[in-house]
Each structure stands twice: as C-alpha cells, then as structure tokens.
Structure 1
C-alpha cells in the first residue's frame, strides 16, 4: 500500500479514453462529475499505480454504502463499469430521465437482478465487458454491510476472473458509510473517504473456473486482500437476508457454494 496521494487535476490518456460503447452521458460524467466529486469530497486515494492502464481488469471491493459505486469510478485512473438494477433506468418523466442519465454518466449498466437466469445474464454482461478490454467493479459480499464488518465473499467474482483471465484489483473503501449511511437520501459533506487500490491478483494458480475448490480458494484470496486494505472486522459469515419460511431456512443451513 502506498502513501496517500493528492488528487490530480490532470487526467492521463487512460482516464480520458472512454469505452467503445460510451454515450454522451458517460463522457459527460467522466469529464464533469469525476473532477467535481474529487474537488468537493477530496477523497484520499492510495495505490492508483497498482491499476493496469489497459486491458481487462476486475475491481473487487468491500461494500458499505450506495456511493461505493460512485467512489470507485471517481478514484480509479481509468473508466470503470458496474451493474445496477434495471429499475434505475426504467423510470418515466423527468425523474426517470434524470435517474437513467445519472447512472449512465457514472458507468452503470442496467441488469435485472435475481437468481438463476438473471444471475447468469449478469455474468454474461460482465464477461462481455472484460472481453472488450474494459474494467468492471464488483462486490464479492453480494450486498452492503449494514454493521461495518467484512463478510465472506461469494464465488461469482472468482469465477469471472478464472474464466476470463482478467487480473483482480482489490479495493478497500473506508468512510463511505459515514458519508452516506444506509437509508440516507443525500451524502454529507462533512466526511472524507479513503479509496485504496491493492496490487493486482493473478488467480490462475488456483485452477480452472469449473472447479468449486478453485473458486472458493480464489475468493478467499480476494477477500483477504480486501481485508488488508479496509481493516474491517471480519464477520466470518455470508451477508444474506434472514431466511423466510422453512424451506429457505433449510437451504441456508445446508452447505453450498454462495455465488
């Protein structure tokens, strides 16, 4: 981990080069929202030199707040994409247009959430982005931590990395839950956040993506790297909502691989 870096007013060629399918909203966000957010919130950004300047890369981060998906693109030295639930893009009227434009401007891509086919479709979208040589951000915990602890990682991120060969850059976010706690409507201006980028992880020594053991070991390596960056207390459990009904309780009690 490197010492704190100041926010640079200039951008490198990698920062200004948008993805091939970027539209006006994304270019506006990259050119306007990013420097504005850096100026207002003055984030502490560490380890930017660890991020590969080109080629596919997966940012794997802890997840504390809604603004995590804004903090990572703002701090990263290259464009980053993440998946957002489709309802953010499907609203009507001025409110719907503003929501769609905002999420597009920060690199969000619409996807329907859920298990089964929806989960596979999400992986397909991320794999396509990586095949284009782009960067994607994912949260191995699956959902936000409401108590500040770091939960065990699900294996979807490792599966994607092992399948595509993309390096994984672990990210430790600190303070985003204070800037915008769960349930808050707007972020506060009185707090600063820290974004730490770790050294890229080559997960290929763990084995093939088809191996459950390889996926689990690779996921554990990712989570250990995130923990080293974030310093959070470890929960030693998966972050999942309480089971509803007898069948769901039985499913959670049985050993299975969390994707």
Structure 2
C-alpha cells in the first residue's frame, strides 16, 4: 500500500496524511482517528513500509555498500521472517522447521542438528529484530562485534531482498532509485546501483568478520561438516572473537600468507 492508498483509505488528502505521519498532534482529533484506523487495517509489512522509508533514505543515501532501496529490501525480508514465517511457525509448528524461511535457505546438514527446536527459532527471530533495527539505522553486522548468526542471516536475506525489489516495486516508491555509475577508467561500478546485488555480496564477503558466513547457505559445501564440528548452530549466538579472514583456508590445511 502506498501513501496515497493509505490517505484514500483514511479519507484524507495525501498532504494531510504526511502531516499526520510527521506529527500526529498537527492534525485534528478526527483526522488522527481516521489515519490510525487506516493504519490498523494494514498488514504489519504495509505499516512498516509507510513509516520507515525515510529512515532508510537518510541512513543509506551516501553508502557505497548498499543503496537505500537495497537496505530497505533486506529489512522487509527480515521483517517478513519475524512477523510471518518464524512468528507463525512458533504459534503453529505443524510443518518441519527446515521448510520455513529463512531456514529453508540453510543446508539441511545445519537443520539436522537443530531439528524443530522452538527455542532456537525464537533466538533467530530475536536476532532478526536486532538486525532490522540496525539496518534501518545504517549498520550492518560487519560494523560491530557480533555473533555468527547475524552474518548468516544477512546472507540469507539477500535473495529474498532482491525478489522484493523486483516483484513489489510499489513498496519502494517512496525511496529514490539509484543507478550504478561506472568509473570511466577501469570500467567498474564506482557507485553501487539498486540492481547490483552481486556487488553487494562481494562487498559483504570482503567486510565479513566470520569467514564462514556463507558456508551454511551453500548447499553441499565441503567445509560445512568442519564448520559445524567447531561451532554447533546452538553456539551461533555467542558473541566471541570471530574467525576472521583465512579461517576457511586454515580448515583445509592451507597456509595463509600475511
């Protein structure tokens, strides 16, 4: 639902709706009731899309790592897991957890160790809430000390975020589009654009604190058994010293040059 749709639902002008969003006290009590009623009739995703778009623009407008639309799309994916996928499964765990997003992105060997643990699913849900708030504020897991699960979840969110941006453009209409700008000298993108998801993945790989952040998401990765042997999924929430660059090479017995 767009702002214009919400305003029509409330029976007010678009300008009045925006004024109410910025400061509810700036409109009449009757208008506040109408706008609040329209908001209550929306889904959680629709409410979030209306209220927080501006925050993502402010937080990511000058970023070289994500565009505001990409950051917002990642947050939408996280929010969907929180409210719909994990949230509904916790209320009615009638299907296997490995069929529920985001866990359906994980290699099954991860989920064999987890089973249908509701406590583990709730712990993931809580980390998704933290990540949502941080992405909205312009922070990624690589920017501060944190557990392995945070980087795994951000990685798991990328494909879904790309799909949201492609298939639901109306969710992003309040956020200015950004196209990539190529450097004339070396023909590489010097400004990331909304469609440059492969660049995002490369940037995340360069900045990650946990070298194995993508391994649980790559089906059949040969190093996953070694990763799981060193750190069971129940321990992915521990805030400890991250493995750092070269960890996967060390697992294979390779020598890492300084």
Q: TM-score range by the shorter chain?
A: under 0.3
Larger Rg: 2
Q: Could you say which structure has the greater relative contact order, defined with CA pairs below 8 angstroms and 6 or more residues apart?
A: 1
Per the normalisation by structure 1, the TM-score is 0.28
Structure with more strand by fraction:
1
Structure with more helix by fraction:
2
Per the normalisation by structure 2, the TM-score is 0.28
